[in-house]
A and B are shown apart, each in its own frame.
Chain A
Amino acid sequence: MQRTDEDLVALATAGDLEAFNQLVARWERPIYALAYRTLGREEDARDVVQDAFLRAYRGLKGFKGQAKFSSWLYRITLNLCRDWIRRERRAPIVQTPEGTDAVDLVDSHSDPDESVEELVARREMSAAVARAMAELPEEQRTAIMLKEYHGLTFQEIADTLDCPLSTVKTRLYQGLSVLRRRLERRQAEEASLRRATWESS
């Protein structure tokens, strides 16, 4: 039977290093995704992930289980990302999607059910979402990431961000509304561009 996070935390607190390794293996990918989406650059995300787990290890004795282990990890990671952005004095970077040329696209085209056109459209959509998210205020962006990509409940987000439940709902609603407008505008622009291309040809 797989051990719960709480079991592994208890073992790791008692000095079982292997238990902590298991916690890292379980949570590294979500933590990396959160750091990457917050900072926008792979090497920065890797540094933050490593730092986050080291801090978690050092702070295990102070973690009394008042929140879920994952919420505590998310909070550590977001604080590190905030420090990183403040130190670098910059906004999140939006990386251009990989494979913008045909050779790269063919190389990275691993799903046989997806056409190259679909792959291009997916990559472009990914970049458009990243750009739209990067323009949101940090509080709205963080709330949306924790909800959409990590599946936290409103209450868990409130615990992680240390703010009232109503604030979480407001941030989500306002952020989603802004994203909706930007993404719909982009889709409208693409549609008109396609129509113009089709008419000229």
Chain B
Amino acid sequence: MCDERDRLIGYVYGECDSEEQALIDRHLEDCHVCRDEIRGLRRTREDLLAWDVPEHRSVWTPFVPAVAPPPPWYRQVPAWAMAAAASVMFVAGAAGGAATHAFLAPDPGGASLIATGATTQPARPTSAVPVSLSDADLARIVAAVRAQVEPDFDTRLAAVSAQAAERRVVPAAVGPGADAVRDLREAVASLRADSNRHADWILSLTSEVGDVRKSTAREFERIGYDQSMRALLTSSTAGSPGGR
């Protein structure tokens, strides 16, 4: 043991196993040199505790989580309101369709209606949009939808550009710089996703309007309505402002 003094270090720090500890304990009973060595090492450890470290203020500026941009207007509309609006649209469409069907149903008096064209005026189905929806009307609807959606898109795109210029982000940076890059990427991805959704929405709207027009045409054929009646209705509603 006296030749392997570094074995004592585990004993001094209390990190030797029980067998080693018992061995050293037995050795220390007979060896005053090793006893002095252990006593000296323990005293040195106590002296080491005197080494102070000065107080210091924190050098760390905490990372600040990025603030998410506000959701677009159409995401702020509650789901129940969207559902209610959809229901109203459905009921209005159904009512219009029913009225059209009722008005256009074949009846023995159809011929007399044609004959006395002026008398059709009070019962003219102006609410039956599908009948009077022309290509110009469709273009106006699409334009209205775009006018509602695109300003918001442009505003948000401008905000993201301004944010990028203001922060002068270095892509390789870490911490707040990296957060800014991630925020911007998320914002651009969100804009792109919204834009795609808007395009899909307009396409589906256009498709639905087209379907309605086709079904109306089929309905005309099914009920065998007279072509002159269709011409009369078309000419009488074309100038109407309610055509939108």
Using a CB–CB cutoff of 8 Å, the interface residues on chain A facing chain B are 17-18, 20-21, 24-25, 28, 32-33, 36-37, 42, 45-46, 49-50, 53-54, 57-58, 98, 122, 125-126, 128-130, 133, 144, 147-149, 153-154, 169-170, 172-174, 176-177, 179-180, 183-184
Chain B 16-58 near chain A by CB (<8 Å), digits 1 or 0:
0000000000000000000000001101110111111110101
| Partner of A154 from B10, B45, B59 at Cβ < 8 Å | B10
CB-CB nearest in chain A for B41: A176
Are B15 and A153 in touch, CB under 8 angstroms? Answer: yes
CA distance A148 to B50 in the complex (A): 11
CA distance A149 to B43 in the complex (A): 15
CA distance A36 to B53 in the complex (A): 7
| Partner of B43 from A20, A98, A180 at Cβ < 8 Å | A180
Give the total of B residues in contact with A, Cβ under 8 Å. 33
Instruction: Report 24 cross-chain contacts, Cβ distance below 8 Å, ordered by A residue.
Output: A32-B53, A32-B59, A37-B51, A45-B56, A53-B60, A54-B175, A57-B174, A58-B174, A125-B50, A126-B50, A126-B51, A130-B51, A148-B48, A153-B15, A169-B6, A169-B7, A169-B9, A170-B6, A173-B5, A173-B9, A174-B6, A176-B41, A179-B47, A183-B47
The secondary structure that dominates the A interface is helix
CB-CB nearest in chain A for B63: A17
Q: Which of chain A's residues have a CB closer than 8 A to the CB of B6?
A: 169-170, 173-174
CB-CB nearest in chain A for B10: A169
Interface residues of B in 127-169 (CB under 8 A from A): none
Q: Which of chain B's residues have a CB closer than 8 A to the CB of A122?
A: 50, 52
CA distance A198 to B44 in the complex (A): 27
Chain A nearest CB from B5 CB (Å) reads 7
Using a CB–CB cutoff of 8 Å, the interface residues on chain B facing chain A are 5-10, 12-13, 15, 40-41, 43-45, 47-54, 56, 58-60, 62-65, 174-175, 179
CB-CB nearest in chain B for A153: B15
Q: Which of chain A's residues have a CB closer than 8 A to the CB of B52?
A: 122, 126
Chain A nearest CB from B41 CB (Å) reads 5
Q: Which of chain A's residues have a CB closer than 8 A to the CB of B9?
A: 169, 172-173, 176
Are B47 and A125 in touch, CB under 8 angstroms? Answer: yes
Are A129 and B47 in touch, CB under 8 angstroms? Answer: yes
Q: Which of chain B's residues have a CB closer than 8 A to the CB of A24?
A: 60, 62
Are A50 and B54 in touch, CB under 8 angstroms? Answer: no
Are B44 and A176 in touch, CB under 8 angstroms? Answer: yes
Are A46 and B56 in touch, CB under 8 angstroms? Answer: yes
CA distance A57 to B62 in the complex (A): 12
CA distance A184 to B58 in the complex (A): 36
CA distance A144 to B174 in the complex (A): 34
Chain A nearest CB from B66 CB (Å) reads 9
Are B63 and A179 in touch, CB under 8 angstroms? Answer: no
Are B53 and A183 in touch, CB under 8 angstroms? Answer: no
CA distance A115 to B233 in the complex (A): 110
